[in-house]
Amino acid sequence: MLQKWKTINRAFPVIFSGLSDEEQIRLFNTGTVKTLAENEVLFKKGMPDKNIYWVLNGTLRVASRNTHGPGSRFKAGELVGETSLLGRAGRNCTVIAEEASAVFCLSRAAFDTLDHQTRTAIVKFLHDAVFARLEFFREQNESARLRETALIKYVEKFRKPLEKYEQSEIITNIVSNIPRLPLHITHLIELLASDRPSAKEVAALAKQDPSLVVDILKTINSPRFHLPKEITDVSYAITYLGFNEVYQIAISRGLMKLIPDSNEFKEVYLHSLFLSYVGAELCQSYDKDLSALLSTIGLLHDIGKTVAMLLRKQNPKWSLFIEMLDPSKLGAMLLKQWNIPNSICQTIEFQAYPAFCHPAGIPSDQKINIALLYVAHVACDQLNKGPANPFEHPYLHDYLRLLKLDHAGIDHVVDEYILPGLMAKSQFLPELLRKFILVARNSGRRN
């Protein structure tokens, strides 16, 4: 044992240099040495482990959920779990060996057998280690705050010209030449953004467009709903379908008149349609009264992108200039020209801000709608592409907190709130979305 002590003595923490050789050897003999192979787990998150660990050699790291970057590392002479003697219920992370390593383990029971001087030395070391780590995190936090401020200012500098879009004759001419939505659809959206409309009011507006009435009746009498008899009363149809479905039918009709019949445009439209359903389900866990509004915002959120695509198609020589235009600002300008309520226009104008800006920094009073649209977008991408990349969504937790969903996290929001709602309604969804939901269910997204 003495030879083994001499072999690792250089790696034993210098904190114990105040102890005599005999006391250090006694301490070493009281604990145990654990060797770890590469990628072997020292302890797992939630594990009721009250040991203190000193790294004797090698390197350990915190297993991070973020696969795009490493967690904290512990090297020779450093502590792992310096607060475990305080009786935590369980470990708050998982620690694994990054390479073949050895650690010295001291349990609470072993600690209690040591003499007073050695226990005092260990407690002092734990105390100093905790404060050193707190100071390290304070410095890291301050550094991150300074970088965040600099990056936001950098982004804002490039977004500053957006304020001058309305002053540009070229851009205003582009927007003014886009065909308007039918007036009754604009009135429907206005009705939606004000007070909760009645089925009678919606039916009165819908009847202004016979083709829209046909679409509503076609929808309710389609195999999607399996009704025992044919429905011919549009007021009843609107009540049965619900406002969300009626708005989606109405706005979809208006948008389809604007876009060419090509795969490129249909892809953008289908994304918007999917987002509108995801957003409506998200509102069920936040504020049900916002479902129809967010569904409408979802359908309209990429209108600027559609306009830019249309302009590039019509004016290929202007492609470079058109690609430099901000689609969110372009869409908001177009919607304002159509007399769409400002709450919707602002939500769409500032929809890109959550990617680089804390909610407090958004220059709009529509923070809730913007947060709902952003979280719905992340959920939509997660359903389509897999887990969200935290580097692409550094403020996601802040927007979930704004919506009082930070206790859940985006995975829980998708799996427990959004996907079950979509699955429950899958037989009533448009065919392409219904197929997607079936794929998501069969792929084991839900257990």
Give pLDDT tens digits for 151-204: 777 777 767 777 778 778 878 887 787 777 777 777 777 776 666 667 777 777
- Choose among 212, 260, 257, 261: nearest CA to 238: 212
Report the phi/psi class of residue 314: left, alpha or beta, with left for phi > 0 and alpha for psi in -120 to 50. alpha
Tokens of 376: 């719905």
Statement: 168-442 belongs to CATH 3.60.110.10: no
Cα–Cα distance measured from residue 301 to residue 219, given in angstroms and rounded to the nearest whole number: 24
> Which residues 6+ apart lie within 8 Å of 60 measured at CB?
36, 42, 73, 74, 80, 95, 96, 97, 98, 101, 103
| Mean pLDDT within 220-245 | 81
| Residue range 20-37, pLDDT digits in tens | 778 777 888 888 889 999
Tokens of 16: 């114990």
- Pairing type for strands 95-97 and 41-43 reads antiparallel
Confidence tier at 438 by pLDDT (50, 70, 90): low
| Mean pLDDT within 59-81 | 72
Instruction: Determine the topology of domain 2-136 in CATH.
Output: Jelly Rolls (2.60.120)
As a three-state string, the secondary structure of the chain is CHHHHHHHHHHCCHHHHHCCHHHHHHHHHHCEEEEECCCCEEECCCCCCCCEEEEEECEEEECCCCCCCCCCEEECCCEECCCHHHCCCCCCCCEEECCCEEEEEECHHHHHCCCHHHHHHHHHHHHHHHHHHHHHHHHHHHHHHHHHHHHHHHHHHHHHHHHHHHHCHHHHHHHHCCCCCCHHHHHHHHHHHCCCCCHHHHHHHHCCCHHHHHHHHHHHCCCCCCCCCCCCCHHHHHHHHCHHHHHHHHHHHHHHCCCCCCHHHHHHHHHHHHHHHHHHHHHHCCCHHHHHHHHHHHHHCCHHHHHHHHHHHHCHHHHHHHHCCCHHHHHHHHHHHCCCCHHHHHHHHCCCHHHCCCHHHCCCCCHHHHHHHHHHHHHHHHHHHCCCCCCCCCCHHHHHHHCCCCCCHHHHHHHHHHHHHHHHCHHHCCHHHHHHHHHHHHCCCCC
**What's the pLDDT score for residue 293?**
86
Of the candidate ranges 39-48, 302-311, 381-390, the one whose mean pLDDT is the lowest: 381-390
Range(s) for CATH 2.60.120.10 in the chain? Answer: 2-136
Q: Which amino acid is at 228?
A: P
> Is pLDDT at 364 greater than 80 in this prediction?
yes
| Mean pLDDT within 275-302 | 88
> Is pLDDT at 429 greater than 80 in this prediction?
no
The label of the residue with tokens 């500098």 reads 157
> Is pLDDT at 65 greater than 60 in this prediction?
no
**What's the pLDDT score for residue 417?**
87
Range(s) for CATH 1.10.3210.10 in the chain? Answer: 168-442
> Is pLDDT at 68 greater than 50 in this prediction?
no
Q: Which amino acid is at 321?
A: F
> Is pLDDT at 381 greater than 80 in this prediction?
yes
> Is pLDDT at 395 greater than 80 in this prediction?
yes
Confidence tier at 444 by pLDDT (50, 70, 90): very low
Of the candidate ranges 193-207, 220-234, 237-251, the one whose mean pLDDT is the lowest: 193-207
**What's the pLDDT score for residue 9?**
53
Tokens of 189: 């959206």
| Mean pLDDT within 107-127 | 85
**What's the pLDDT score for residue 195?**
63
